[in-house]
Structure 1
């Protein structure tokens, strides 16, 4: 699972290729190539910016469960004990490539993040519970005025999952990629030409407080846009921002059944939702109530948590994921069969997750992780391969 997100990424074993009949009689078929202890990550700086770049590879070493950081050679270093108040973490920075250049580091079998920052090193601290990640929704966070971003990845014995994420914020643009065992390359996360400025201009033009998500330096330099969940936390968005849509959904399903088919590969597994007494109850095909949801507020919707909590189970979690996607994309009123994967229906209501809407509109392939369960219906910006040769992180221009 990718650190910091509520994604549930399932590894699938690669099928072994069949040999020709004569060769198959002569020798046994080769086993799938094992994923090595580290793989190369090629970082290319196409940003056009002149400042130095600093790279960090932080996460959990899957073999031991230890938290720590990896140097450029892929060597793991556990974090020392922290304190209360938090103590400075060791300098885990790796000098990144200059503008127009590339640099290759090695990444170990982690579940973690690759951070990159422009011009300044990030500030990391350690508590008795582990690493303190940057939290730029807090005005006093020491990283608040630094221009940075991160990608999340899991590398394990089943392969690589690497994403471009905007779940927490939209900031320094980048794309991710993987070279497969056959030499082909898959990538995602690139913006359309003009997409960076296009996103911020669109957010500024959206009434209702959405422009307040944008954070700038004192000189007016744009640093990022916070996700709407953090917008609620900071007061940038009103707590009532999704109420009208939620009320209409709750009204509709007092007299209509919401059918959820949470697993694309299990079309016979369905759950049926109806609102009664202000609660949406879901029943299985036998009519037994399997889980219930209180009417969610905007925080529950944007964070896919609290009243839309999604445990990693076989029933409530998959239903909640589906509801979360339906609320964020505002598809629950136009289609009583969910998940709705018809992208033409996404974000059509006036009350919707406009942050997610505007991000997807600016992506070259339409894919993004604009909220935690944006992978419902495969709308996420993620690359995966079971036998990766190399990973890629490309720092893109701000235009």
Structure 2
């Protein structure tokens, strides 16, 4: 199944408002109620990478009208995946020839929640299990895509419009910018690095003590392919599993004697939850004093992955609280601000041990916005474009410099 940002930012209806603190409800409300989103819209892929290798495109996802997983061809026709197997069986070749360097190619995207993959030099390898598509997992050294330079964007196109984002939740790799053209002809873009930002990120990771340089993966010929997220850094041993223990312990100690207040919805400031640690467990109560959810002390994997001990179901209580906690841990603002979320980026990543991966990526983005971790949209720091009546989408493959 699709993972990372598709699981939350690209949720439908109420889930979108929950994830983004109500911001998309406001955005969607401004779209004309009568404007029907067509079954497909054009997406222009521009190759400004400066690389001479062929580019291959893939549009993979879930068909919203049926819930089927599959792929879309260049004309926007959806094709469901055939049955997979155990062990996994090869998926049909869903590749679309991409534009050469300096060229543009326009495809059509249907109403899916999915990913636009692009690879340089060779086609990607996809397989099918009995449960659906196997996504690339390059933290595994035996993954068939390990030595391919590739990346992906995530999107949902539905009756309420288009949501399209760039992402570094799993890895930082070949850079790109996403965009949407609105009905009035105006455009919005997100995900563009500053000039020199690609090498800037990699050099900053190399210079950061504590194992952060170990996140960078290269091909046998020395070509840099990507930097893994800190979650995969912990899982592979590139980062120590105890890297956040001191900070987490200090957070638990602080809120054993004081209250952490979480106001998870940007458009509903009256909804607040109060957190206190008792018996080693962080309990949150509502305005009536009733315990609504509790969290055991997380480890680095739970924090970096926003999962396990910080699981965030798509509900109206635990999920929003967990998203806020996860953002506070990544940005290391929980000791400096007992009122979360902390939306002021000036105070983020100030601890000596923090999510340096996300810190460095944000510092090298043209507008400071990125998806450095799963809930980077808390406080609206995400690299996302949305329009309720889109005319055209775009993905620009940017230079690796």
Task: Number of aligned residue pairs: give it.
Answer: 385
Deviations 1:206-246 (A, max 9, x none): 11111111000112110000001111111101100100110
Alignment-derived partner of residue 206 in structure 1: 208
Q: CA deviation at 1:200?
A: 0.3
CA distance in structure 1 between the partners assigned to 2:323 and 2:167 by the alignment: 17
Asked whether the 8 Å contact 2:4–2:374 carries over to 1, the reply is no
Q: CA deviation at 1:4?
A: 3.2
Alignment-derived partner of residue 20 in structure 1: none
Q: Does 1:233 align with 2:199?
A: no
Task: Give 1:185-196 correspondences, 5 Å limit.
Answer: 185-196=187-198
CA distance in structure 2 between the partners assigned to 1:91 and 1:373 by the alignment: 33
Q: Does 1:51 align with 2:56?
A: no
Q: Does 1:365 align with 2:367?
A: yes
Asked whether the 8 Å contact 2:31–2:389 carries over to 1, the reply is no
Deviations 1:343-386 (A, max 9, x none): 00000111111110010000001000110000000000000000
Alignment-derived partner of residue 182 in structure 1: 184
Task: Give 1:154-173 correspondences, 5 Å limit.
Answer: 154-173=156-175
> Of 196, 199, 213, which residue of structure 2 is paired with 1:197?
199
> Of 149, 152, 155, which residue of structure 1 is paired with 2:151?
149
SS in 2 for 1:286: coil
Alignment-derived partner of residue 261 in structure 1: 263
Asked whether the 8 Å contact 1:7–1:375 carries over to 2, the reply is no
SS in 2 for 1:117: strand
Q: CA deviation at 1:285?
A: 1.2
SS in 2 for 1:375: coil
Asked whether the 8 Å contact 1:164–1:369 carries over to 2, the reply is yes
Asked whether the 8 Å contact 1:55–1:115 carries over to 2, the reply is yes
In structure 2, the gaps of 5 or more residues are: 10-15, 18-23
Task: Give 1:121-160 correspondences, 5 Å limit.
Answer: 121-160=123-162
Task: Give 1:338-349 correspondences, 5 Å limit.
Answer: 338-349=340-351
SS in 1 for 2:117: strand
- In structure 2, do the counterparts of structure 1 residues 16 and 45 end up closer, same or farther at CA, with 3 Å as the change threshold? closer
> Of 273, 276, 289, which residue of structure 2 is paired with 1:274?
276
Q: Does 1:324 align with 2:326?
A: yes
Q: CA deviation at 1:16?
A: 6.3
Between structure 1 and structure 2, the one with the greater Rg is 1
Alignment-derived partner of residue 382 in structure 1: 384
Q: CA deviation at 1:7?
A: 2.3
SS in 1 for 2:41: strand
Asked whether the 8 Å contact 2:48–2:102 carries over to 1, the reply is yes
**Normalised TM-score (structure 2):** 0.94
Alignment-derived partner of residue 7 in structure 1: 8
Deviations 1:55-110 (A, max 9, x none): 00000111111111000000111111111111111110000000001000000000
SS in 2 for 1:231: helix
SS in 2 for 1:253: helix
Q: CA deviation at 1:3?
A: 5.0
Asked whether the 8 Å contact 1:3–1:113 carries over to 2, the reply is no
Alignment-derived partner of residue 84 in structure 1: 86
Q: CA deviation at 1:314?
A: 1.1
Alignment-derived partner of residue 12 in structure 2: none
Asked whether the 8 Å contact 2:112–2:158 carries over to 1, the reply is yes
4+ residue segments displaced more than 3 Å:
10-17
CA distance in structure 2 between the partners assigned to 1:206 and 1:15 by the alignment: 44
Q: CA deviation at 1:14?
A: 3.8
CA distance in structure 1 between the partners assigned to 2:278 and 2:88 by the alignment: 48
